[in-house]
Amino acid sequence: MKERLIFFGKLALFWLLFFTVSRILFFIYLHTQTSSLTGKEILMPMVLGLRMDAAMAGYWMLLPGLIFIFSAFISVRWIYILQGIVTSILLLISTLLIVADVELYKHWGFRINATPLMYLESEAASSVNLSTLVLLITIFVFLLIAFLFLYWKKLAPQLLGFQKLPAKWSPVWLVITATLIIPIRSSFSVAPLNTGVVYFHKTKAFPNHAGINPVWNFLKDVTRKDNLQYNTNFHQPANLDDQFASLINTEGATKKFISVEKPNVLLIILEGFTSKIIAPLGGLENITPELNELIKEGILFENFYSSGDRTDKGIVSILSGYPAQPRSSIIKFPNKTQRLPYLPKVLEKSGYHTSFVYGGDIGFANMESYVTQAGFSHITEIDDFESELDDSKWGVADHYVFERLQNECDTVSNPFFKVMLSLSSHEPFKVPMETVIKGNDEGSMFLNACFYTDKSLGEFIRKAKQKPWWKNTLVIITADHGHRFPNPNELKEKERFKIPMLWLGGALNQSGIRINTFAGHTDIANTLLNQVGISRSPDFSFSKNILADTVNSFAMYVFSNGYGYVSPTNENIFDFDLNNYLKREGNENELPLGKAYMQKLFDDYNKK
């Protein structure tokens, strides 16, 4: 009995060591973020994280405890074999999650959860370039072999020296195994363990995230109910509806920038086009020369923000006027998306021919279900292109897709509403163009891919201007989300979400205009409808008309575990895990407005 207790204790230490080494690996792999931390900011996650590590070790020791319960009825050799199989499998699972987590965090800014399960198609692996993949495999193999060696050479042999356990001790092992509930819950109160226990920093997300055990976080997320229910009591003042209405309500006449009745509308959504690469928005010079020139002849919205941080969230926010949600995406649940309003359906009722053009797999991330429900008359995707054009990891390169878009505009009946989603500026940033922005690092490759997409856009616009349909067309150019490059920001920062929105086309009656109203993805729906002569739709309840005489200038963005609110007079960032503000600057009276927006979103999402 004693030797089993000693082995059980050593096995617990084995798992704590494994998770500690994994946390050190997290700091090393993300050395850019780590280098900005103080010694205390590195030490605190190591210490606080032990609580979550102990909980995960408790979960992983349930099966070994179960084996010991029945060890009175099986031979010592079988105990050795079964414990070895269980530990090896759990090590394999843990190592896989930990290695995937360090790379995903670099891109997404949050610890691994159920989200990657949305992207398990073969295309998902295409986001990782070969050198990164080799590095990750090397880390995986090294970490796995090191701890397999430690177990099989140091721990496992002890099992062979055990005496057979008398049957009377089985109930005792049942009690011992049951006590694992203490580290698993990590609390004697009603509330079980949550990620908030490792949150100590009031302004920096990275050191807080470093304390989270990624294996625990992933398993906790995948075992929750599919239909996530948000907090109904996050913010419930008596005047909640009034607070929300004060944000969304617009009054007075609409500034009309359209010179024709029922113009064609061409909505071009550029993958990851952050304002950080666009010079007129304060970004880098010479990355988007074509877009920079087009801005001079169009209407530029200078303070425009994406609602979320991924394409699947951006598409819903643009076409349904529906905000992104923390920790999940409504696009995962067709039973909920079928209750959303859809811009294509509204325009189709007014006589528009609607279509969606994309050079990738429309089935990725449940997008096919969404765009089908959106009511597009025609959908063009990767299978509609010649097979030889599928020459990039994600599908057909942008300049081919722009060519297809132009051909469709030439042949479709008017008025039309066309949506085009680009993809070449997505990782791994391989584009069919001689390299302009030199460098093999991800940041340089991203800039080079954006230069290529910008070049393709410019060529499309030049040709479009020669077409008969141009004079009756409004072109809206925006992005699906921002990007961590260049000059990587933390996911919570507004710079990660600021994107362009530019209006062009022969249907415009003015040029060279700049709109400084703070707005975002969700506002496209009602702003556009008012411009084409369709009254503001109450179905787009989160969408305001940016061009109304009286409009509340604000934008909301949502990240994995929080939201940001920005306006001319206030900026605040709220973290749901910390249950507090990470940033609050400016007019304090605006703080409840962001909370009211999120509560209305939570309530609406739960009802769908």
Tell me what the mean pLDDT of segment 228-238 comes to: 92
pLDDT in tens, 275-334: 999 999 999 999 999 999 999 999 999 999 999 999 999 999 999 999 999 988 998 887
CB-based contacts of 370, cutoff 8 Å, min separation 6: 312, 315, 316, 331, 334, 337
Three-class SS state of 314: helix
pLDDT in tens, 24-79: 999 999 999 999 999 999 999 999 999 999 999 999 999 999 998 888 788 889 99
Confidence of residue 358 (pLDDT cuts 50, 70, 90): very high
pLDDT of residue 448: 98
Give the DSSP H/E element, type plus range, for residue 401: helix 398-411
Tell me what the mean pLDDT of segment 196-209 comes to: 83
pLDDT of residue 274: 98
For residue 336, which amino acid is it?
Answer: K
pLDDT of residue 236: 94
pLDDT of residue 227: 58
Residue 521 Rama label (left phi>0; alpha psi -120 to 50; beta):
alpha
Longest dimension (CA), the chain: 91
User: What would the two tokens of residue 564 be?
Assistant: 């940001």
pLDDT of residue 190: 53
Confidence of residue 335 (pLDDT cuts 50, 70, 90): confident
391: how many CB neighbours lie within 10 A of its CB? 12
Weakest-pLDDT range from 30-34, 109-113, 233-237, 456-460: 109-113
Nearest to 270 by CA among 318, 302, 341: 318
Task: Please tell me the distance from the alpha carbon of residue 436 to that of residue 452, in angstroms, as a whole number.
Answer: 9
Report CA 595 to chain centroid distance, whole Å. 21
Give yes or no for a contact between 268 and 476, defined as CB atoms under 8 angstroms apart.
yes
Tell me what the mean pLDDT of segment 517-536 comes to: 94
pLDDT of residue 326: 93
pLDDT cut 70: percent of the chain above it: 97
CATH architecture of 256-607: 3-Layer(aba) Sandwich (3.40)
pLDDT of 189 higher than 70: no
pLDDT of residue 391: 75
CA distances from 414 to 256, 283, 350, 530 (A): 21, 37, 12, 19
pLDDT cut 90: percent of the chain above it: 74
For residue 62, which amino acid is it?
Answer: L
More confident residue, 69 or 568: 568
Domain ranges in the chain are 2-222, 256-607
User: What would the two tokens of residue 461 be?
Assistant: 């616009």
CA distances from 3 to 65, 160, 524 (A): 14, 11, 68
357: how many CB neighbours lie within 10 A of its CB? 23
Weakest-pLDDT range from 302-306, 359-363, 436-440: 359-363
User: What would the two tokens of residue 257 be?
Assistant: 């920038």
More confident residue, 398 or 372: 398
Q: What angle do CA 450, 455, 458 make, to 5 degrees?
A: 125
Tell me what the mean pLDDT of segment 508-514 comes to: 95
Q: What are φ and ψ of residue 259, in 5° steps?
A: -100, -5
pLDDT of residue 224: 67
pLDDT of 220 higher than 90: no
The model carries a pTM of 0.81
pLDDT of residue 123: 45
